[in-house]
Amino acid sequence: MMDSLWADTALPTFPPLEQDTQTDVLIIGGGLAGILCAYTLTQAGADCLLIEADTICGGVTRNTTAKITSQHGLLYGKLERQFGPEAARLYWKANEAALRRYRQLAKAFPCDFAEKPSYVYALDRPEALQAELAALERLGIPAAFADRVPLPFPTAGAIRFEGQGQFHPLKLAAGVARDLPIREHTAARAFEKNTVVTDHGRVRAKHIIVATHFPLLNKHGGYFLKLYQHRSYVLALEGAMDVRGMYLDAAENGISLRNYGPWLLLGGGGHRTGKPGGGWAALEAFARQYFPNARETCRWATQDCMTLDGVPYIGQYGRHTPGLYVATGFNKWGMTGSMVAAMVLSDLVQGKQNPYAAVFSPARTMLRPQLLANLTEATASLLTVSKPRCPHMGCALKWNPRERTWDCPCHGSRFTEEGELLDNPATGGLKGE
């Protein structure tokens, strides 16, 4: 089955917008980030409205592996070097606060939440693990080194975070969204100051939150330079072992593992969207080697927005856009990222101080090595003489034989073989290509 384990969950449905309206806060995008923003604001008594171009949780949210953890690979040493120890600690505190909120929400909205340890393991050369563990100790972040982990292949050890979590994302979304002011099949077509134009009417709002995975507006914020997209793949196996935790290889293209019910979820095979990579073939080879008696029941792929420095962009959309906010670039950690966005943005639109806002501010420096890589990729694609072209910014699309799609290596838009839009930032299909 080419769909995720979560995909058959019954979600509430909502009508489209019917007429011009106004609200204090308009949220654009009905994935988990947008839904949690709407829920947090509604709980605070704020007047808000969420619009979704299609149906809620129809994109990246339904394709997550749904780990809720503050352990985001070997990140904390990097954060300490780039931003200093206080910012690194605040990043951890924000994600731990997100984990606590999920734990509380799971009591009200049953979603198979389970507390699990989280591990980053290395297949060889444990020096990177030791360096990260030293950074964690300096920052006062509780972690431990595990010489052995319950995996069917040898490792050089792992860093363990206790008390992390995993869950069923659409069960939670279904419960949280049920009574929210949501309008589906209502795409944002244009922005006019504090008004958003849709096919079904205009929405006037004091504050607008763009939670559309990849931001819609090019003329503010430079997100077409600050973000690229990365595809990764998942196999669900029955008859494999219980690995008793959540695992991520410290290597860039390694394997992630977690259990859900009778299934073991293997993730990996990743690559920049529009470029070649291991895909499901890499996961199939791994499963044959280490889980030879397991049976694949479904597979799926997902796409993540990656920032220049490994930290999401959550806050004011651009330097000159008061009242316009963004949540994007969760760097494969969309569950905690979505909740952090809800915490930060709900405070900002209500005029409150938030202790984590500065860490995630989109106004921070763009001068990172990844910027050059993004510019190089975009320039090469723009100069390539071929069709079809991406309607977002004109980059040459690449054929993806694995998924039979046209993919954009610049910014990650994807289209079916017939030209229908699958993933943004493009807002329409391939017309006349």
**Nearest residue to 228 (alpha-carbon basis) of 48, 36, 428, 412:** 412
* Phi-psi region at 60: left, alpha or beta (left = phi > 0; alpha = psi -120 to 50): alpha
Residue ranges of the chain assigned to CATH 2.102.10.10: 369-423
For residues 278 and 270, is the Cβ–Cβ distance under 8 A? yes
Report whether 264 contacts 236 (CB < 8 A). yes
State how far the Cα of 76 lies from the Cα of 426, in Å rounded to an integer: 33
Q: Which amino acid is at 114?
A: A
| Residues 333, 64: Cα–Cα separation, whole Å | 9
Low-confidence ranges of the chain (pLDDT < 70): 1, 432-433
For residue 81, what are the contacts with CB-CB under 8 A and spacing of at least 6?
none
Q: Output the pLDDT for position 263.
A: 98
Q: What is the DSSP string of 322-389?
A: TTEEEEE--TT-HHHHHHHHHHHHHHHHTT---TTHHHH-TTS---SHHHHHHHHHHHHHHH---S-B
Which pLDDT value is given to residue 1?
61
Using CA atoms, how far apart are residues 322 and 202, in angstroms rounded to an integer?
Answer: 20
Question: pLDDT of 371-385, one tens digit each?
Answer: 999 999 889 888 888
Asked if residue 214 lies in contact with residue 411, where contact means CB atoms within 8 angstroms, the answer is yes
Domain 21-64+171-226+309-360 class? alpha beta
**What's the distance, CA 84 to chain centroid?**
25
Return d(Cα 253, Cα 251) in angstroms, integer.
6
CATH superfamily of 369-423: Rieske [2Fe-2S] iron-sulphur domain (2.102.10.10)
E strands, 21-78, in order:
21-28, 48-51, 67-68
CATH 3.50.50.60 in the chain: give the residue spans.
21-64+171-226+309-360
pTM over 0.85: yes
Rg value, the chain, Cα: 21
pLDDT at 253: 84
Neighbours of 206 (CB within 10 A): 13
Which pLDDT belongs to residue 358? 97
Q: What residues have CB less than 8 Å from 252, skipping those under 6 apart?
A: none
The two three-digit tokens of residue 396, written as one number:
């040459």
Rounded to whole angstroms, the Cα distance separating 81 from 6 reads: 38
Chain centroid offset of residue 409 CA? 18
Separation CA 111–CA 61 (nearest Å): 14
pLDDT confidence of residue 359: 98
What pLDDT sits at residue 432?
A: 59
> Would you state the pLDDT for residue 433?
52
